[in-house]
Amino acid sequence: MSSISLVETNQLSFSYGARSILHDVSLAVPKGSIYGFLGPNGAGKSTTLRLLLGLLQAPAGTVRLFGHDLARHRVALLTRVGALIENPSLYDHLSGHANLEVTRTLRGLARGRSEEVLALVGLTEAAHRPVREYSLGMRQRLGLGLALLPDPDLLILDEPTNGLDPNGIIDMRELLRRLQREQGKTILLSSHLISEIERVATHVGIIQHGRLVFQGHMAELQNRQRDNQQLLIETDSADTCRNLLPAALGRARVTGAGTLLLPYESREQVAELARQLVAAGQPLYHISCQQPTLEETFLQLTETTPTP
Ligand SMILES: Nc1ncnc2c1ncn2[C@@H]1O[C@H](COP(=O)(O)OP(=O)(O)OP(=O)(O)O)[C@@H](O)[C@H]1O
């Protein structure tokens, strides 16, 4: 994967009227990546994606696509981008194939492209059924097919798995992987669920209250997860233990009458804690090291960002 960024924003800010929504967002989406743009509802994901597509204008900051300024070369740059921003607008009474053909003809694209795209999104068999008979997952794939018609280098997808059942999510994930690996597409997709991103994204950006709170390789997020290991201690009275051992347990969180959680430091810390608890006459029923889930790491990153 190259280090060239196909999407780059520099200190992007945006307000709806007096309401400030984005603050200094500097995104970098590497060429060839699947970039998961994550954040809770209302964090500013759709607003950012709309700015990237020139559907909104930012009063401050710049957007560069393929290394060029979007404000100056909007039309030329957007011909290289496929987008799925809301529910795709589809003609329900027409077949999937006919829906693609309408757009293909309008755009003057080569004959046969609709069939290629249907194969790509796994809809060849259903190609001639009316879209009103399609499942939500099939509709989303057809919407993605519409975005893929002109063979764009970059795909920008806003919550493409929203509302899909587990099978629909798996199909979409596999389709995105294939588009990246076999077709060389760069894909920027948003989601509010880390579980939908973690198995597909190579890179992650996390936004909270309009601010980017993390950006990097998926592996870097996983490293943070490892760095945040917690020690779980079970005893009789968590409060008594904390009072007896302020140096060792002062930072511990009481999570139940007899349970404490504190940041894990080392094996020696575990041995020393066990020794001190026993020396203080406190029973030690259980001590173990817990790794937070990626979900908890994500929540920790987003919950600790103050509201502006
Ligand atoms: N047209 C609008 N006018 C005023 N405020 C808006 C408008 N669109 C969005 N907002 C507000 O901007 C903030 C960011 O919204 P945005 O849709 O970008 O968030 P999001 O991260 O995509 O969330 P979701 O996952 O719920 O779509 C929210 O507080 C939302 O209420």
Phi-psi region of 159 (alpha: psi -120 to 50; beta: other; left: phi over 0): left
| Cβ(307) – ligand 1 distance below 6 Å | no
| Cβ(21) – ligand 1 distance below 6 Å | yes
The type of residue at 224 is: R
The Cα 165–Cα 161 span in angstroms is 8
Q: Which residue's CA is the closest to the ligand 1 atom numbered 5?
A: 16
Contact 13, 20 (CB under 8 A): yes
CA of 172 to the centre of ligand 1 (A): 24
Contact partners, residue 279, CB within 8 Å, separation at least 6: none
Q: Which residue's CA is the closest to the ligand 1 atom numbered 17?
A: 46
Indicate the top mutation candidate among 13, 15, 16 to test ligand 1's pocket, ranked by most ligand atoms within 8 A of CB: 16
- The pLDDT, as a whole number, for residue 247 is 93
- The pLDDT, as a whole number, for residue 58 is 79
pLDDT in tens, the chain (308 residues): 557 999 999 999 999 988 999 999 999 999 999 999 999 889 999 999 999 999 998 788 899 999 999 999 999 999 999 999 977 889 999 999 999 999 999 999 999 999 999 999 999 999 999 999 999 889 999 999 999 999 999 999 999 988 888 888 998 999 999 999 999 999 999 998 888 888 899 999 999 999 999 999 999 888 877 777 889 999 999 999 999 999 999 889 898 999 999 988 899 999 999 999 999 999 999 999 887 777 777 777 777 655 55
Indicate the top mutation candidate among 14, 27, 45 to test ligand 1's pocket, ranked by most ligand atoms within 8 A of CB: 45
- The pLDDT, as a whole number, for residue 306 is 53
Q: What are the chain's domains?
A: 5-224 (3.40.50.300), 229-290 (3.30.70.100)
- The pLDDT, as a whole number, for residue 290 is 85
CA of 203 to the centre of ligand 1 (A): 23
- The pLDDT, as a whole number, for residue 156 is 97
Q: Please count the other Cβ atoms lying within 10 Å of the Cβ belonging to residue 243.
A: 12
Q: Which residue's CA is the closest to the ligand 1 atom numbered 29?
A: 42
| Cβ(47) – ligand 1 distance below 6 Å | yes
Contact partners, residue 209, CB within 8 Å, separation at least 6: 23, 43, 44, 305, 306, 307, 308
What is the per-residue DSSP string for 90-135?
A: --TTSBHHHHHHHHHHHTTPPTTHHHHHHHHTT-STTTTSBGGGS-
Residue 140's H or E segment, with its range, is: helix 136-148
Q: In this predicted complex, what is the ipTM? A: 0.95
| Cβ(205) – ligand 1 distance below 6 Å | no
